[in-house]
Structure 1
Amino acid sequence: MVKIQYKRIYQDVLEEDGIRILVDRLWPRGISKEKAKLDHWIKEVAPSNELRKWYHHDVSKFSEFQMKYKQELSQGTQFEALEKLKSIIYSSRENVTLLYGAKDEKYNQAVILKQILKDSK
């Protein structure tokens, strides 16, 4: 069974990461493409610029952010990107690691994406 996990892109690359997918809209500062060792960068699955700026990693807004982000993922190019992500994951026999650049390891879009992916199996 494929294990879906998430971690900061700044953490060490591990063999058990499996397929490494960046789920940020913007490239993380200070990381080279070589160091990132990405298999995919699906920037369209990330929150819109407007939502990202509104949230601004304010934990008190996380519940509302989660609701708004899920709504974004239900339509348009973000929905298509989510379907692409699902296709990659469910056709894989390797672990999948969702990568993000945010400092907060508990309140970010990768946490939400993992839950959505887990619920959609």
Structure 2
Amino acid sequence: MTVHVRRLYEDPASRRGRCFLVERLWPRGVRKDELGDVTWLKDVAPSNELRVWFGHDPERWPEFRARYRAELEAVSDALEPLLEAARQGDTTLLYTARDTERNSAHVLAEVLRERLG
């Protein structure tokens, strides 16, 4: 039961278990049939307002984390598919941001790990 975080554009062989694209917007240049067995869960991604406000500004990262965690609390039912998949085995969260350290998928993984105990 491990939650992995991978950039969508990395080698698909690095993905483990069930895979979920956790972005609000569909990635440019990627056809849905190219992703294979990947489930798109846009409802667990940050709101458009939060995403635009953050703009991947490293100075806004701490505040973004807090605001996004609050948004996740408000949509906790949307987390169920992820929690269920993680209870059954490895789960990979796919993101598209260039910043591999400060992105919403890492925050989402933290929340899932906390809920899984």
Aligned to 2:95: 100
Letter in 1 for 2:76: F
Aligned to 1:58: 57
TM-score computed with the length of structure 1 as normaliser? 0.88
Q: Percent identity?
A: 39
Gap regions ≥5 residues in structure 2: none
Task: Tell me if the contact between 1:21 and 1:40 (Cα under 8 Å) persists in the aligned partners.
Answer: yes
Q: Relative to 1, partners in 2 of residues 1:105 and 1:45: Cα closer, same or farther, differing over 3 Å?
A: same
Structure 1 distance, partners of 2:86, 2:39, is 11
How many pairs are equivalent? 116
TM-score computed with the length of structure 2 as normaliser? 0.91
Deviating more after overlay: 12-21 vs 98-107: 12-21
State yes or no: 1:111 paired with 2:112. Answer: no
Aligned to 2:78: 81
Q: Is the partner of 2:113 in helix, strand or coil?
A: helix
Letter in 1 for 2:38: D
Deviations 1:45-91 (A, max 9, x none): 0000000000011111000000000111111xx3221233212322x
Structure 1 distance, partners of 2:70, 2:63, is 11
Task: Tell me if the contact between 2:2 and 2:86 (Cα under 8 Å) persists in the aligned partners.
Answer: no
Gap regions ≥5 residues in structure 1: none
Residue 3 (structure 1) shift: 1.8
Q: Is the partner of 2:12 in helix, strand or coil?
A: coil
Aligned to 1:17: 16
Residue 15 (structure 1) shift: 6.6
After superposition, the CA RMSD in angstroms is 1.4
